[in-house]
Amino acid sequence: MAQMFFFDEQIRRYLLQFTRMISLFQVEYGRNEQGTKDLVRVPVRYGDASRQAATIMQQNSANALPSTPLMTFYITGLDYDRPRMQEPYHVNKMSVRQRTYDSATDTYETTQGNAFTIERLMPVPYRMTINLDIWTSNTNQKMQIFEQIATLFNPSLEIQSSENYIDWTSLSVVDLERVVWTSRNIPVGTENPIDIMTLTFGIPIWISSPAKVKKLGVVERVIASIFDANGDAANAILDNDLLMGTRLKVTPWNYQVVLLDGQLQILQPAEVVVPNRLSLAPFTFPVVEDPQITWPAVVEAYGVLRPGISYITLDNPWNPDSSIVGTVTLNPADDRLFIFNIDPDTAPQNTLLPVDSVIDPLLSGPNNGLPAPALGQRYLITESTGDTDNSQNPSAWLGAGGQPLLANANDIIEFNGVRWEIAFNSQTDTEVQYVTNLTTAIQYKWTGGTTGGAWVKSIDGLYAGGAWNLIL
């Protein structure tokens, strides 16, 4: 198999960092007319003192000398660093998320975008040796430059070859290993006034191969095991008491949610709430102590919310084999709340005509807290208005000719144009029924049964961790 070509300029980046490290030194050239020190920056070049380099610096003439002071550096050794060798076949995996990129504005937003898995192969250790030649025309220049360099290396200086977040080899050190004070021989001649001081540096580096990048998908379901206690996968899959009959639900940090009037509030796992599904009385969102949890903070940990596309599933409180599904959008006025648009196909279907309101017939009646009687008006009552033994009831519920309304608590009453009559009899109806309160838009369920039923909220209420899922 042919080797795939790659070139990441890794050694070049180390040389660039070395150049930046030594490129800001200065020497003093006496004092100017104002009496302040006249400082000159020492130039830095890459290249050894070869014949070609010397010719260029001498401007292709034997009569010209290179200007001083000057610093040049070059690689003198690149050796495999066996003491730093680690498991060569090790593969490190890490997960990262991008910020969302807006192509229209050519900028990155603050929300999270695509997720990736990065597989990094173990890099190869090398030790690079660099010589730094300091060209000076007098000893004073040499001492000035050396004094500035010597104080930085005690004995090393840290460098960073890249700002890449996933580059685990970006940090390294530069060690000052050796100093040669002069290149001149003894006795010192007069034909060449330029003296070269050589400093030798050692840099432990890594040479890395390309990383493998994989785009992550969305995990829709987590299955803990596909085997039964005997190790039989086929039996576990087909057995309703095992895989087919169980579901493992994972929700963010085990948070719980409250559904009320088509909105979802997110709460801490231990947050105490009052929404009672068994009560016909309305409830409000709980007052949450600081710090409050907001939906954007939860969503950001997993991806990006797409309004009208991202959705939440709620376990059906009355049917464990089904879920209530609805798309979500953030409430612009309160980031604690999601607007929950229920898919009508997943919500319980009404079996009774809706009621105008849930009332206490002993406290209110037509023209007394309620509108005047009209054909088709329907109310779900919470108290009895009387029976055959006690036909005394509020005068507001009397029909034509003073005929009384004999109804029990949990009945639904309806005005037929002449009088009020029972449209749903809680004493005799044993079937499960669903009805919606038009005033609050809350749907109620009649539990039914031969021993007497009760009205309960069908979906509004508290959903603990594991009973709901967020699908982005």
- Its pTM stands at 0.43
CA dist list (Å): 463 to 177, 259, 388, 430: 67, 8, 43, 28
Rounded Cα distance, 264 and 145, in Å: 69
pLDDT surpassing 60 at residue 220 = no
pLDDT cut 70: percent of the chain above it:
79
Grade residue 144 by pLDDT with cuts at 50, 70 and 90.
Answer: very high
CA separation for the pair 410, 421 (Å, rounded): 14
Burial of 74 (0-12, 13-18, 19+ CB in 10 A): middle
- Band of residue 305 on the pLDDT scale cut at 50, 70, 90: confident
The neighbouring-strand residues paired with 102 are: 107
Average pLDDT over residues 447-471: 82
**pLDDT attached to residue 310:** 85
Does residue 228 have a pLDDT over 80? Answer: no
Q: Is the pLDDT of residue 20 over 80?
A: yes
| pLDDT for the residue 254 | 79
Whether pLDDT at 390 is above 50: yes
User: What domains are there in the chain, each with its CATH number?
Assistant: 10-81+120-205 (3.30.2000.40), 219-248 (no CATH)
Q: What is the mean pLDDT of residues 361-368?
A: 85
Q: How far is CA 400 from the centre of its chain?
A: 66
Q: What pLDDT was estimated at residue 80?
A: 94
Residue 300 CA to residue 179 CA, distance in Å, equals 54
Which tens digit of pLDDT belongs to each residue from 79-112? 999 998 888 888 888 888 778 888 888 888 877 7
The pLDDT value recorded for residue 73 is 93
pLDDT at 130: 94
CA dihedral angle for residue 229, residue 231, residue 235, residue 240, rounded to 10 degrees = 30
Phi, psi torsion values for 404, nearest 5 degrees: -75, 160
The pLDDT value given to residue 288 = 61
> How confident is the model over 22-38, as pLDDT tens digits?
888 999 887 877 878 88
Predicted local confidence at residue 365, as pLDDT:
85
Lowest mean pLDDT: which of 3-7, 187-191, 259-263, 291-295? Answer: 187-191
- pLDDT, residue 467, reads 85
What is the per-residue pLDDT across 392-432, written as a single tens digit (0 to 9) for each? 556 677 776 677 788 888 899 999 888 888 899 988 888 88
Confidence category of residue 176, pLDDT binned at 50, 70, 90: very high
Q: How confident is the model at residue 77 (pLDDT cuts 50, 70, 90)?
A: very high
Quote the CA–CA distance of 41 and 24 in Å, as a whole number. 7
142-172 core/surface letters (b: 16 or more CB in 10 A; e: else): bebbbeebeeebeebeebebeeeeebebbeb
Residue 157 near residue 174 (C-beta atoms within 8 A):
yes
The pLDDT mean for the chain works out to 80
Q: Give the Cα separation of 432 and 73 in Å (integer).
A: 88
pLDDT recorded at residue 356: 92
d(C-alpha 43, C-alpha 134), whole Å: 10
